[in-house]
Amino acid sequence: MEIISSDKRVYGYKFLAEILQADLKKLGINAKITDLEPVLCDSRQDKGDFQIMVHNYGRSNRDPGTMVTAAKAWYTDKEGGSSHYENPEYDKLRQELQSTLDQDKRKQICRQIQHMMRDECFTIVVAPQPTAWAWPSYVKDLRYDLENSPFVYDVWLDK
């Protein structure tokens, strides 16, 4: 088994690959880590030429309906998803999630998607990737949005 990653794209991918490798070893599965240049990693991802790939995606801090339709890891094959996953029930659930505001119904739909993800393993969320921001005290009104990206519209310097 091969785990592909691109530590040159995002620092820490190799460390996560090593954790996955160690966990697989506990199950008796020997995995080799292949750390690729970003362009080679992208090419293999687009072709679906991987067994396990370490990657990240955004939009997971937003509404779950956004996550399953805006992050490539959740795309279906016809949308260009790297897992090449197709399931009419998954399409239906994603559409329902986008079209209802009823919180109880949305929880039920998310739970069904979660079970489908677990049972069919087309994508597996392993860990969040928080970003830490630091700035000097004279930088004022710097905030970050729901995706943990800097929002600099009101920034000013108190120097």
Q: How many domains does the chain have?
A: 3
| For residues 33-41, average pLDDT | 90
Indicate the range of 27-41, 74-88, 94-108 predicted with least confidence.
74-88
pLDDT classification of 92: cutoffs 50, 70, 90 = very high
* Cα dihedral sign, 80-39-150-17: positive
| For residues 95-114, average pLDDT | 94
Are 63 and 117 within one domain?
yes
Are 66 and 108 within one domain?
yes
Are 141 and 87 within one domain?
no
Are 84 and 43 within one domain?
no
Report the pLDDT value the prediction gives residue 59, as an integer from 0 to 100.
61
pLDDT classification of 29: cutoffs 50, 70, 90 = very high
| For residues 98-107, average pLDDT | 94
Q: Identify which of 159, 145, 158 has the alpha carbon closest to the alpha carbon of residue 59.
A: 145
Q: What is the pTM of this model?
A: 0.69
State the residue range of the domain holding 151: 131-159
Report the pLDDT value the prediction gives residue 87, as an integer from 0 to 100.
94
Report the pLDDT value the prediction gives residue 133, as an integer from 0 to 100.
77
Are 43 and 98 within one domain?
no
Report the pLDDT value the prediction gives residue 115, as an integer from 0 to 100.
94
Of 56, 75, 91, the one marking the end of a domain is: 56
Surface-to-core class of residue 159, CB atoms within 10 Å of its CB (0-12 exposed, 13-18 middle, 19+ buried):
exposed
Report the pLDDT value the prediction gives residue 46, as an integer from 0 to 100.
83
Are 102 and 78 within one domain?
yes
Strands 52-53 and 32-35: unpaired
Q: Identify which of 15, 81, 26, 27 has the alpha carbon closest to the alpha carbon of residue 54.
A: 15
Are 30 and 85 within one domain?
no
Are 46 and 69 within one domain?
no
Are 19 and 36 within one domain?
yes
List, in sequence order, every residue forming a beta bridge with 143; answer none if it has no partner. 151
For residue 61, is pLDDT > 70? Answer: no
For residue 58, is pLDDT > 70? Answer: no
